[in-house]
Copies of this chain bind each other. A is one copy, B any other.
Amino acid sequence: MADFAIGIDIGGTNTKFGVVDRNGDIIEQGRTLTNEHENVQEFIDELFLQLSPMIKKAGGAKEFVGIGVGAPNGNYYTGNIEHAANLKWKGIIPIASMMSEKFDMKVKLTNDANAAAVGEMMYGCAKGMKHFITITLGTGVGSGIVIDGKIVLGHDGFAGELGHVVVRPGGRMHKGTGIRGSLEAYASATGVRETAIEILTENPDTESLLRTYSLNDLTSQAVYDCAVKGDKIALQIFEFTGQILGEALANFIMFSSPEAIILFGGLTKAGDLIINPTRKAMEENLIQVFKNKVKLMFSELKEADAAILGASALVWEE
């Protein structure tokens, strides 16, 4: 019986990969810059170069059940990355079959958020849960939905795009999609930055530490730094973000009635500053039957680990 799997998490900036054993320990890992590679073949060649010594060290390819890959717009059914907005490689990319050819292993693909959800289910705080939703609050907003212990893929493999649900009809324009008022336009790091600019501009007379930052430096991290110092506008930014996120979570709960919603990604570093207003708005928008029932929690896995572990789990499962 093969004892290892490879998990690869392809992100818009970094690609992280690792060799995972049956206990869910990442025994070796590495990374490469995704968009440094002009084409996919070159990217795969680089992965092969870096992974080959790790594979050899673990006893060779025969010791591996296969390779699991999480990627933006990765489709489990087709093994293709399809029209990923954040990647340099455009169109439809048959990455699973290309990698399978290069590595001579079974390769399974899913989208990055789904991979992270599987990681949470197998090794994180969703262990033992059959119904939960993970929400990544990073540069964008991603999601993985688990119902009856299975990732929801939908009719065509693209289910779980909760970052793109509209939460403020006619609201803020999302430059990537052209849709107004989507969750991602507010509850991502990018969204928090935009909220900061909006609130600062609309309240020119309110003092704020945030006014000392250059536009370039006005990041969600800056908002956090100011909020912990008690800056009123910075606190207001998190209140606003949590309000919108909480409303959205309430809607998700009324769809699939999960046991828990698990948040991860950069914004969760804000801790109580983000989760308190989120929980409040969530509870306020739930009908009776769901109130005070659904756990809202932060992931305990490192983000990269969740994705590598979840990706590797795609091949363990089989």
Contact = CB atoms under 8 A, between A and B. Distances in A.
Given A155-B131, A155-B257, A73 B289 contact: yes
Interface residues of A, number: 45
A158 interface: yes
A39 B47 CA distance: 69
A288 B83 contact: yes
Contacts of A232: none
Interface stretch (A9-17, A53-61, A222-230, A246-254): A246-254
A297 interface: no
Contacts of A82: 289
A216 interface: no
Interface string A277-305: 00000001101111001000000000000
Interface in A135-171: 145, 147-148, 150, 152-162, 164-169
A46 to B, nearest CB: 28
A256 B147 CA distance: 11
A177 interface: yes
A80 to B, nearest CB: 12
Contacts of A285: 166, 179
Interface string A156-194: 111111101111110000000101000000000000000
A70 interface: no
Nearest to A165: B251
20 contacts: A73-B289, A82-B289, A83-B289, A131-B155, A145-B255, A145-B256, A147-B152, A154-B256, A157-B257, A158-B257, A160-B255, A161-B255, A161-B257, A161-B287, A161-B290, A165-B251, A165-B254, A166-B251, A169-B247, A251-B251
Closest 10 CB pairs of A and B: A154-B257, A159-B257, A131-B155, A165-B251, A155-B259, A161-B254, A164-B287, A158-B257, A158-B289, A159-B256
